[in-house]
Structure 1
Amino acid sequence: MPTAALHTIGYEGSSIEDFLATLTHVGIDLLIDVRDVPISRKKGFSKNGLAQQLRAQGVDYLHLKGLGDPKPGRVAAREGRFEDFRRIFDAHLRSETAQADLVRGIEAAKDRFACLLCFERDHKHCHRCIVGEEMARRGGFRLVHLGVNQAGKPWPKIGSARTHHAAALHIG
């Protein structure tokens, strides 16, 4: 039996409609928000509104603040200081709060079609990749990075989260 997948996604540059359509198309049933501050200037992506829209789509929402990138890490990443960002976030990930939320995230993602959420489109420049790698290592997940498919573009030829067995997947 293939290893369960843990997905990641960023909403940068996407509409809430395209974002929700992507989650539905892939078959995600649990969105784990790993933003330190789950508010957004982008309509539909703040915690309460997002959770409500997800529920309407049959997707559960879980915010794990302890897995969010602290402000100094966000500033370093925004400024392109990725070594500093990595050092800051690695130290944060060792904190008691982050460790507790890692365990909560792994438990929540077991037997679910789960996806980690943050802002950045490119997972390589986002702490969700680090969180995903750690959850995958500890929880035995296969990590799959998604992109938001834009309206009007054909869907890639993939199965859903329930059926695909590829080692990696990128939509968008």
Structure 2
Amino acid sequence: MKIYTIGFTKKSAEVFFGKLRASGARRLIDTRLNNVSQLAGFTKRDDLQFFLKEICGMEYVHLPELAPTQDMLDEYKKNKGDWLVYERKFLDLISKRQVENAISRDVVENSCLLCSEEKPQHCHRRLVAEYLQSRWEGIEVIHIV
């Protein structure tokens, strides 16, 4: 079972959708808390759902239970918080949510986790993928950069 991850920041629509199509993923799972912001450009929920279907033949699913809380985001982004503190809090949050039980493995299989960060190093999509990998057997995580 493969779980892909991708961020849209610093990618043109051509690059973003080209990489998604080439990955072989069958579904995009939006892990953002806010997926309708004007700052999201071509990745606003309704536009993204249309583009994924038309360009990549992919499904779109929004799973806010895989997103951090607004307070966590504000503390890290707006207040320039410490990554290790954010990581610990986020992992505690998804553990309390028991996302490995709340979300069907079938939904995640061969899907791509989306968030805004350009690279996975300081991104919650990587944390979600690694968390699931530690709880489910046979998971390969592939970061699309």
TM-score (norm 1): 0.73
Structure 1: runs of 5+ lacking an equivalent = 148-172
Offset at residue 82 of structure 1 (A):
1.1
Q: Relative CO higher for 1 or 2, CA cutoff 8 Å, sep ≥ 6?
A: 2
CA contact (8 A) 1:93 1:99 kept: yes
When the two chains are superposed, the root-mean-square deviation of aligned CA atoms in Å is: 1.9
Alignment of 1:69 with 2:68, yes or no, is yes
Say if 1:103 and 1:137 are closer, same or farther in 2 by CA, change over 3 A.
farther
- Aligned residue type for 1:55: K
**Unpaired runs of at least 5, structure 2:** none
| Residue 90 of structure 2: aligned partner | 89
1:89 shift after superposition = 1.1
Give the total of aligned pairs: 140
Structure in which a larger fraction of residues adopt helix: 2
How far does residue 16 in structure 1 lie from its aligned partner after superposition?
2.0
Aligned pair in 2 of structure 1 residues 101, 50: CA closer, same or farther (>3 Å)? farther
Bigger Rg, structure 1 or 2: 1
Runs of 4+ in 1 over 4 A off after TM superposition: none
Between the two proteins, what is the percent identity of the paired residues?
A: 26
Aligned pairs for 1:17-166 within 5 A: 17-40=14-37, 41-56=39-54, 57-78=56-77, 79-95=80-96, 98-100=97-99, 103-104=102-103, 106-110=105-109, 113-140=110-137, 141-147=139-145
Paired residue secondary structure (1:7): strand
Is the 1:66–1:101 contact (alpha carbons within 8 Å) kept by the matching residues of 2?
no
- 8 Å CA contact 2:100–2:132 kept in 1: the answer is no
